[in-house]
Amino acid sequence: MMWKDNELLIEIPLPRVKNRPLIVAHPASGSNYTAAWNVMIEHGEDFVLVCDDVGPHYPDEWPYHCNEVGAEYFVRMQNSTHGDRIYRNPDLKFDNLLVHRQKTALEGFQSMPLVDVLFVDWIPPFSENTPDLTFKKVAAAMADTCRDGGIILLDEKARRNFPHWFEFEDGEFGLEYLGRAEWPIPSLEMTQRVEISAEVFRVHNTKKQADVDDFLSTLTMERRMSPKELKLMRKRIPRRNDSLPDKDIWWERKFDSTFHQGFDEPEWPMPQASPWDFGRYKLWIDDLIKDSKRLRPISREIRSVNVGFEVQLIHGDIADHLDWLFLNNNSIILRRKHMVKCLERCPMLGERAIKLQPKWEDPLIQEMKWSGNESTPDLTSKLLDLSKDEINVATIAHSQANLEQLLDQCSKWKKENPNSPLESFTIFYLDEADYQ
């Protein structure tokens, strides 16, 4: 509900858009990101909530949030293309994303489109060390982050300590004051408050909106796929990114604490299997296929040589093609630092990953040197030996990145392993001079 001039208004005038989620920003959110989340849950429209903070409060770190049956409320997905943590609630009946980015508010606004809703509970990020901050000193900066018709919500949380932040005049800097909104019964429990109230402003400006779909494509892998690839993806469901122990470990811990003395209950909520409900996921994929102009598929040129299996060479960063590798049932074989990066971006590849340098075990190739003149002899053959039971395998440039050497080792290996099911061996390389 909302109040203006002592008049009660039933509906809070938050924006509605077609064919895309609302873009919501909460700069310097701290642990109060749950307030902005609750506001959008009450609104009931598809949304992406972006929280930028130099010290993010991630929901898969204490204090945790649970749903009504004790399972995790926010389920972590694959990271964004920039390495940001992304979460989703699979129980809501509309699309939702929570994005936590470790950066300042000003850095964050430079890397996202104009927002539909700006939730503000701390105004210093909109000023460059201006003393005696007032609403008037930051109003223009706040309005510059919003599209025409966007909404700014100034959270009342800070009014007691900073009353001068709430001294404003209607119409300043293109901000139309709409009233005071209240959300008395939030759906998600908050750690330091029980209700939400905010001053509401509508933004009027002539700023040109950037391509929202470009931004959305950095957040979810499905938006980086072609309609043909999405039809394959429709038959699958993304798995949870295991930032916390998985469901099997949780139940083992729960069993031990229930039936054996000396074992504590798991301190984290019960993990969910996926950030999606399978039925809703298929419907969402269908919507993306129908509105394919909003997709931003990754292009790739493949050079291929058959040596008994396909040796495929792709110029590019393997991290940009993980979705394609997953769709084509590839196993990835990489050094630890690259493996960690790839599995954060696409955790579904973890089931078939060949970890050359596992964290707690001996490396699969002793004293391995990956590249250069002193690289491990016959490294390609050794990688193939570790992959001989796989069907499709991908890695990155190694040894001296020499095409003749690569094909020679692959040919010899196939002759020595004629019964291997291997069908393709894909190598991604960044240096244009490699494998020429």
Residues forming a β-bridge with 76: 87
Q: Which of 143, 135, 139 is nearest to 165 (CA)?
A: 135
Task: Decide which of 151 and 1 is more confident.
Answer: 151
The answer on pLDDT for 216 being more than 80 is yes
How deeply is 322 buried, as exposed, middle or buried, from its count of CB atoms within 10 A (0-12, 13-18, 19+)? buried
| 229-260 confidence digits (pLDDT tens) | 999 999 888 888 876 666 667 667 666 677 77
pTM for the structure as a whole: 0.89
For residue 214, what pLDDT is reported? 97
Residue 121 to residue 178: CA distance in whole angstroms:
18
- Tokens found for residue 90: 């699979």
Query: Phi-psi category of 316—alpha, beta or left, where left has phi over 0 and alpha has psi -120 to 50?
Result: left
| 161-192 confidence digits (pLDDT tens) | 888 888 888 888 889 999 999 998 888 888 77
CA dihedral 219, 347, 254, 99 (to 10 degrees): -10
Amino acid letter for position 354: I
Domains and CATH numbers, the chain: 2-213 (3.40.50), 220-294 (no CATH), 302-429 (3.40.50)
